[in-house]
Amino acid sequence: MTMTTTDPDTPGTAHAPRATAQGAPLPLRSDPPSNLLLARILIGLGAVVAFVSTLFPWTWTSAFPGDLTIAMYPGGLQILTIVGAALTAAFLLAGAGVRGLRWLTPGGRHSAVLLAALGTLAVTWYTAGAIAEDLGGLANFEPGMWIGIAGSLLAVVGALALPADVPAEPDPLTGRAPHIGHRLRAALAAPAPRQPGSALPGWAEILVICAACGIGLYVFAYGIEAEDGPPFIGFLVVAAFLTPAVGRAGLGRRLSVLAGRHRTVTLLAAFAAALLFPITQSNETYTNIAVSVLIFATVALGLNMVVGLAGILDLGYVAFLGVGAYTAAIVSGAPTSPFDVHLPFWAAVLLGAAVALVFGLVIGFPSLRLHGDYLAIVTLGFGEIFRISVQNLDGDSGPNITNGAKTIPNIPDLELFGFNLGEEHSILGFDLGRFANYYLLMLLFTAIVVAIFRRSNNSRIGRAWIAIREDETAARAMGVNAFRFKLMAFALGATLAGMAGTVLAHVEYSVNPEAYKFVHTAPPNSAFLLIAVILGGMGTVSGPLIGAALLYLIPAKLQFMADYQLLLFGVALVLLMRFRPEGLIADRRKKLEFHETGQLDVPPNGAAGLSKTEA
Amino acid sequence: MTTTTHTAPTDAPPDDRPRLRAAGVTMRFGGLTAVHNVDLEVYAGEIVGLIGPNGAGKTTFFNCLTGLYVPTEGTVSYRGTVLPHRSHLVTQAGIARTFQNIRLFANMTVLENVLVGRHTRTSEGLFSALLRGPRFRRAERESEERALELLRFTGLEGKRDQLARNLPYGEQRKLEIARALASEPGLLLLDEPTAGMTAGETTATRELVLAVREQGTAVLVIEHDMRFIFNLCDRVAVLVQGEKLVEGSPETVQNDDRVIAAYLGTPFEGEPGEAEIAEVRAAEAADREGGEG
């Protein structure tokens, strides 16, 4: 038996809407299908024009970030227009049935084109708006900008004339034709991807996985390197349109099937892509951000084990990161540390993890007897107790253990096998600076946490955790010692966070009690960690990693709206919970949970009544 | 039901100690006595029914047996050993149960649900899960084989990778039984296994319970459906207002006046006789004529 039998989209259901889509009414007008060709020509023309426009200067001065003034050399935001136009064209050709490209659109063909065209339009027009805003007026446009505006508009107009993949039905009550909003929504919907007609050969599948990881690396590197302000916003705009476009095309689903078939290859490819990142970087600015992202993401993954698997809502998780960081700082031999000990790094890691484990057990033992809201409040309380205790263990209010609010600065760099991680090393002709060294070290820890997460999830332990999350009473009735397993999850999560904390202390040179709050405008803090897990997708490996990356990059890149950041996060979360409650990356369970109407605990009323009256 | 190689490990030596002995179980919630001084024994190879009107305390009694409630008085023993009041230890000892309102792990697959049932019969800890040694892999494989066997036994083998929540109602009931059987119990407690089922599904459930008994697992079943109970059980106990009223073979119980009274009610003392009824009818008729005239 293979996993394919579980796939809810059997070929039959996937093909049914496709067949009707051929002769279906157009989303906005009811033109005869002969106009399909015209629409396709229009889109193709628009994509080409938008592409060509990037070869010309868009503005006259390099004062606008990204330097859009050089002919035949696209840069900055122009790259994003190119990507959008290229993807529009690729989906268009795939949808038209060009051999060799059809693999790209197993799901929706036209909705993917429409979304890609909209993404191109959005980023091109956004660039135009930003130029006009920054430099003062439309007079700052060079002809290339106008060409880009026109081309992207042309593509969208063409895409709107494509027939919908899932045609909008007339109103069943009145029989009236669906109104325009309804039809637009239908134009953006896509049928579930069909099963591939012919399987690719094994090597080609592995190649596809590697290519996807490479693209992932490129996207991440682009996002991290994008300058503050317009270039980063442009990146977000393109990502917001093209990600659903790829999803509508059914590519995401297809990739996840491939990844499921070659798990080890996927993990290795992703790991290799992550390893390559510091090599693609010429200076330290972005590896600095990358190592922070990695630490934040690793801690989020640890929290995911507690929240996503065992269902324990922990609002004080960042305290365990702090425990690890402080332990490492105290034994690091820093001149400001109250204790004059200098342990080797491996010992500091083990000690940090062990201390965090003890804290996890001590905090978990009483609090895990509570449930739901009460548990959440208690963990929140313990998180704050940690911060305040650290502040007060300064020699005045208590014994001097943590140096209190004076913090422990000047933590020395690590030395591993004779390598001083603080210095620049040249390996295989690549220069790796301080942050690149720490990035590689942290990557090792991330890999360990990923392995622990996957292995414990897929075992008797993980099943017991999920059973407790689903229904604690039933889990106990099945013989699961709920308290013990919850304590295990809690303590394991604490240990992993403590481990990550030991690296954090060295990367940041210092530890400060104020960094481990419940909520703060910058990560890491407990609230952000939880948001990263929920945003990314509970119970998945990649979800918290992506969620954490976004959550770290967005505040770092959008400094100019720092005052509104928390407000924007709030709005974004509300929207996410409304439209995609399972998070960006859906757990296979969550996906079914939130998007199907099956009710479990309600026996059919009539039948139940019948049996009782019979009695 | 399909034949299967499933054997309960518990029935190896002939054992005349009762699988279950509840002695003087009393459960009080504050001033309310939900179960009062109930004795019940279930022997190997038996199917025992527990019936009673709504609110008679059947499910409360079940919860006392399985350690979900701590009985105010009395003891519950399994094969002569007094059970602790912890639900997972009761399951460990060999008593598995289903719930009146289905309580599956809704977002786990059918196979995973049954694998959770294997929890007490496997012992792989965190470290063996992380290291994935040969012992771990063998244990996982055996658990899976065992779970698949149970799915075949209950007729769910084609649905192993579906989410439990997506099964039709009758199959969810079956899955709950399969999950309970995965813990290799010596005694299976079923709480209204046919509630809400069609006649066909009820028959299938009856066959399933009989097949479970064939494998050496004793069964104690709560049910409202009298026909189901009297066709299935070797012995029936009736619980009314928290007390055991009658216990005996289905025929005895069926013909017991007290049971009929408990279900249908007894005539009370001031009940109107034939004469009074005739009098009232006459008065009503006269009234109607008067109104017309």
pLDDT of residue A198: 58
Contacting residues of B for A479, CB less than 8 Å apart = 88, 91-92, 117, 119-120, 183
* Proportion of chain A in helix, strand, coil states, percent, rounded to 5: 65, 5, 30
Asked if A601's CB is within 8 angstroms of B129's CB, the reply is: no
| Range with lowest mean pLDDT among A19-23, A80-84, A267-271 | A19-23
Helix spans in A190-317 (H): 202-225, 230-248, 251-261, 263-280, 284-304
**Closest to B70 (Cα-Cα) out of B79, B81, B82:** B82
Q: Is B125 on the interface with A (CB under 8 A)?
A: yes
**B95-97/B81-82 β-pairing:** unpaired
Instruction: Please determine, for residue A596, whether its predicted confidence score (pLDDT) is greater than 60.
Output: no
pTM for the whole structure? 0.82
Looking at every residue in chain B, the average pLDDT score rounds to: 87
pLDDT value of position A599: 38
pLDDT at A589: 59
Nearest CB to B105 within list A466, A481, A488: A466
- Cα A586 from Cα A294, distance rounded (Å): 21
Pick A430 or A321 by higher pLDDT: A321
Mean pLDDT score of chain A: 82
pLDDT score of A115 more than 80: yes
Top pLDDT among A415 and B10 is at A415
**Separation between Cα atoms, residue B247 and residue B75, nearest integer Å:** 19
pLDDT for A216-242, tens place per residue?
998 888 888 887 778 888 898 998 899
d(CA A217, CA A209): 12
Amino acid, res. A148? G
Q: Which residues pair with B109 in a beta bridge?
A: B163
Q: Which helix (H) or strand (E) holds A170?
A: none
pLDDT of residue B291: 56
Residues of B in contact with A488 (CB under 8 A): 126
Whether B124 has its CB under 8 Å from any CB of chain A: the answer is yes
Please, what are the domains in chain B?
18-89+219-292 (3.40.50.300)
Rounded average pLDDT over B260-279: 72
Is 90 exceeded by the pLDDT of residue A600? no
The C-alpha of A35 sits at a distance from chain B's nearest C-alpha, in angstroms, of 43
Residue with tokens 């014994």: A399
Looking at residue A590, its pLDDT comes to 54
**pLDDT band (50, 70, 90) for residue B271:** low
pLDDT in tens, A491-505: 999 999 999 999 999
Residue A604: per-residue pLDDT: 37
pLDDT digits (tens, 9 = 90+) for A391-402: 998 888 888 888
What percentage of chain A carries pLDDT values higher than 70?
88
Q: Which whole number is the average pLDDT over A57-71?
A: 80
- Cα distance between residue A398 and residue A382, in whole Å: 19
Q: Does B230 touch chain A (CB under 8 A)?
A: no
Q: For A475-514, what is the HEC assignment?
A: HHHCCCCHHHHHHHHHHHHHHHHHHHHHHHHHHCCCECHH
The verdict on B261 touching A (C-beta cutoff 8 Å) is no
Q: Which among B112, B162, B166 has the least Cβ separation from residue A463?
A: B112
Residue A294 and residue A321: Cα distance in Å, rounded?
14
Task: State the Cα–Cα distance between residues A329 and A194, nearest whole angstrom.
Answer: 54
B284 CA to chain A: closest CA distance, Å?
Answer: 32
In three-state form (DSSP H/G/I as H, E/B as E, the rest C), the secondary structure along chain B is CCCCCCCCHHHCCCCCCCCEEEEEEEEEECCEEEEEEEEEEECCCCEEEEECCCCCCHHHHHHHHCCCCCCCEEEEEECCEECCCCHHHHHHHCEEECCCCCCCCCCCEHHHHHHHHHHHHCCCCHHHHHHCCHHHHHHHHHHHHHHHHHHHHHCCHHHCCCEHHHCCHHHHHHHHHHHHHCCCCCEEEEECCCCCCCHHHHHHHHHHHHHHHHCCCEEEEECCCHHHHHHHCCEEEEEECCEEEEEECHHHHHCCHHHHHHHHCCCCCCCCCHHHHHHHHHHHHHHHHHHHC
Among A455, A478, A587, which would you mutate to test the B interface (most chain B Cβ atoms within 10 Å of its Cβ)? Answer: A478
Which of chain B's residues have a Cβ under 8 Å away from the Cβ of A478? 88, 91, 96, 116-117, 119-120, 179-180, 183
Q: Do A479 and B92 touch (CB under 8 A)?
A: yes
pLDDT of residue A199: 66
Percentage of residues in chain B having pLDDT higher than 90: 56
Chain B: nearest CA to A470, how far in angstroms? 5
Q: How far apart are the first and last CA of chain A?
A: 42
Partners of A594 on chain B (C-beta within 8 Å) are none
Residue A64 clears pLDDT 50, i.e. is over it:
yes
Instruction: Give pLDDT, residue B142.
Output: 94
Are B223 and B51 a contacting pair, CB within 8 Å? yes
Tell whether ipTM is more than 0.90: no
Residues in contact with B289: Cβ distance below 8 Å, sequence separation at least 6, in sequence order:
none
Each residue's pLDDT tens digit, A234-293? 898 998 899 888 888 888 878 888 888 888 888 899 999 999 888 888 778 888 889 999
Q: Name the residue of chain A whose CA is nearest to B197's CA.
A: A607
**List of chain A residues whose C-beta atoms are within 8 Å of the C-beta of residue B140:** 459-460
Burial of B270 (0-12, 13-18, 19+ CB in 10 A): exposed
Give Cα separations from A184 to A161, A179, B2, B64, B92 (angstroms). 11, 9, 53, 58, 58
Say which range, A321-330, A513-522, B32-41, B183-192, has the weakest mean pLDDT.
A513-522
CA proximity to A111, closest of A168, A45, A164:
A164
Closest chain A residue to B53 measured between Cα atoms?
A: A615
Partners of residue A592 in chain B, C-beta under 8 Å: 107, 163, 165-166
A592–B166 CB contact, under 8 Å: yes
SS3 A158: helix
Number of A–B residue contacts, CB under 8 Å:
153
Report the DSSP pairing between strands B47-51 and B95-97: unpaired
Angle between helices A318-330 and A345-367 (to 10 degrees): 140
Q: Residue A350: its pLDDT value, please? A: 95
Residues of B in contact with A480 (CB under 8 A): 88, 116, 119
Whether the per-residue pLDDT at B89 is higher than 60: the answer is yes
Q: How far apart are the first and last CA of chain B?
A: 71
- Count CB atoms within 10 A of the CB of residue B80: 10
Cβ neighbour number for residue B101 with a 10 Å cutoff:
12
* Distance from the Cα of residue A118 to its chain's centroid: 22
Q: How confident is the model at residue A323 (pLDDT cuts 50, 70, 90)?
A: very high
Question: Does residue A174 register a pLDDT over 80?
Answer: no
Tokens of A433: 């600076």
Mean pLDDT of B208-218: 92
Residue A458 identity: N
**Residue A134 CB neighbour total at 10 angstroms:** 15
Question: Residue A204 pLDDT > 80, yes or no?
Answer: yes
The C-alpha atoms of residue A502 and residue A321 are separated, in whole angstroms, by 8
Q: Which of A50-64, A551-565, B275-289 has the highest mean pLDDT?
A: A50-64
Element (H, E) at A430: strand A430-432
Nearest to A463 among B116, B125, B160 (CB): B116
Q: Do A589 and B66 touch (CB under 8 A)?
A: no
pLDDT of A2 above 50 = no
Q: Are A226 and A235 in contact (CB under 8 A)?
A: yes
Looking at residue A252, its pLDDT comes to: 80
pLDDT of residue B15: 61
- Secondary structure class of A408 (helix, strand, coil): strand
Give the separation between CA B225 and CA B41, rounded to whole angstroms. 22
Distance (Å, whole) CA A232 – CA A192: 32
Interface probe for A, chosen from B132, B141, B163, B206 (most Cβ of A below 10 Å), is B163
Residues 6+ apart with CB under 8 A from A220: A277, A549
Nearest CA in chain A to B229: A615
Find, among B212, B211, B237, the residue nearest to B222 by Cα: B237
Q: What's the farthest any 2 CA atoms get from each other in chain B? A: 98
Give the closest residue to A382 by CA, choosing from A401, A395, A368.
A368
